[in-house]
Amino acid sequence: QKAEWEKLKNEPSVTADGKKFTIAANIGTPNDMAGVNANGAEAVGLYRTEFLYMDSKDFPTEEDQFEAYKEVIEGMHGKQVIIRTMDIGGDKHLDYWDLPEEMNPFLGVRAIRLSLQNEEIFRTQLRALLRASAFGKLGIMFPMIGTLAELRKAKSILAEEKDKLTKKGVKVGENLEVGMMIEVPAAAVLADQFAKEVDFFSIGTNDLIQYTMAADRGNDNVSYLYQPANPSVLRLIKHTIDAAHENGIWCGMCGEAAGDNTMFPILLSMGLDEYSMSATSILRIRSLMKKLNTEDIKELANKACFVSETAEENEKLVDELMKKVN
Ligand code: PEP
Ligand code: MG
């Protein structure tokens, strides 16, 4: 099987009926680029920049960040790279940043909340990203957006920094895109409104499932409630994809579900545009995509969201489907 997958390395990601989608890689550091290229990723769909902060003894300087971002962007040779601004907080901490203890860190000052409460640190990151954007095709993505106010604030800070750089004569990429993660249920519910203010969405199922099901993603005692294929989660995902398309923007997914054999056919049926996963999953999913015909799975999304009552029913639906195509 591995040998079969290997042959797909330089092939485009297409379905049995020739529909083209993007399979992208999730990375944590520029060192991951070898695996990205070895597995034939068509983009970087998520660069988790918090590792840059976690692997250093003090805040990385604008220059350190610029070098790291530029390395990844150049390494993709014109293919898109989505870089997410830092997602510190929750379970991710920095030794050199003494933040107040919280009762519920995953519901506390995390990701964009932390960035907006520490604007100088955020601005430094944005300047590094804007400068790096001149070296290829960059998408800047904000994590954990829950309200339009947060998105607008983040975008206005980005616009200010861009303006300042441009006035100084610093080159900024012309095809820079600005997007957001959909990982807070509130944002998924209002996806139709958010879609009017960004260039793309990327659905973060790791958190979206945890927040929708109110089940800690790292707690084994509630893992039975952490159900990617629960119809409630699927409805939020479908609504997000539909809202994106109705507003003319693309929608990706960078949570684990994008590279999951059970979730993938359902997501494909919903018309998700981009699937971002760990590099080692890419060829497996490309091979699965090749077996699926979008006409045959047209009804799957609606069934999974509106007929099924449980995650188990959806797992069975996909099992049955796979028996037919294999
Ligand atoms: C997610 O929540 O699905 C996601 C991709 O972000 P992270 O796993 O870094 O929280
Ligand atoms: Mg997340």
Q: Would you give per-residue pLDDT tens digits along the chain (326 residues)?
A: 888 999 999 999 999 999 999 999 999 999 999 999 999 999 999 999 999 999 999 999 999 999 999 999 999 999 999 999 999 999 899 999 999 999 999 999 999 999 999 999 999 999 999 999 999 999 999 999 999 999 999 999 999 999 999 999 999 999 999 999 999 999 999 999 999 999 999 999 999 999 999 999 999 999 999 999 999 999 999 999 999 999 999 999 999 999 999 999 999 999 999 999 999 999 999 999 999 999 999 999 999 999 999 999 999 999 999 999 98
What separation in Å is there between the alpha carbon of 43 and the centre of ligand 1? Answer: 17
Measured in Å, residue 321 CA sits from the centre of ligand 2 at 30
Check pocket membership of 87 for ligand 1, CB cut-off 6 A. Answer: yes
How many Å lie between the centroid of ligand 1 and the Cα of residue 22? 19
Taking the C-alpha atoms of residue 138 and residue 59, their distance in angstroms, rounded to an integer, is: 23
Q: Report the pLDDT value the prediction gives residue 42, as an integer from 0 to 100.
A: 98
- Going from the Cα of 209 to the center of ligand 1, the distance in angstroms, rounded, reads 10
Whether 50 is in the pocket of ligand 1, judged by its Cβ within 6 Å, is no
Closest CA to 275 of 243, 299, 251: 251
Q: How far away, in angstroms, is 204 Cα from ligand 1 center?
A: 5
Q: Are 221 and 194 in contact (CB under 8 A)?
A: no
pLDDT at 326: 83
Contact 110, 87 (CB under 8 A): yes
Pairing of strands 44-48, 137-142: unpaired
pLDDT at residue 295, rounded to an integer: 96
260 in contact with ligand 1, CB cutoff 6 A: no
Q: Whose CA is nearest to atom 3 of ligand 1?
A: 204
Nearest CA to ligand 1 atom 6: 204
Nearest CA to ligand 1 atom 1: 204
Q: What is the pLDDT of residue 61?
A: 98
Ligand 1 pocket, residue 90 CB under 6 Å: no
CB of 254 within 6 A of ligand 1: the answer is yes
Q: Compute, in angstroms, the gap from residue 325 CA to the centroid of ligand 2.
A: 33
Q: 74 exposed, middle or buried (CB, 10 Å; 0-12, 13-18, 19+)?
A: middle
CA distance 27 to 83: 9
Ligand 1 centroid to Cα of residue 168, in Å, is 35
Q: How far apart are CA 204 and CA 144, in angstroms?
A: 9
The predicted structure's pLDDT at residue 1: 83
Amino acid at position 312, single letter: E
Q: Is 228 touching ligand 1 by the criterion CB < 6 Å? A: no
Q: Which atom belonging to ligand 1 lies closest to the Cα atom of 207?
A: 2
Best CA proximity match to 257, nearest among 311, 209, 195, 323: 209
255 lines ligand 1 (CB under 6 A): yes
205 lines ligand 1 (CB under 6 A): yes
End-to-end CA distance of the chain: 13
Ligand 1, closest atom to CA 254?
Answer: 5
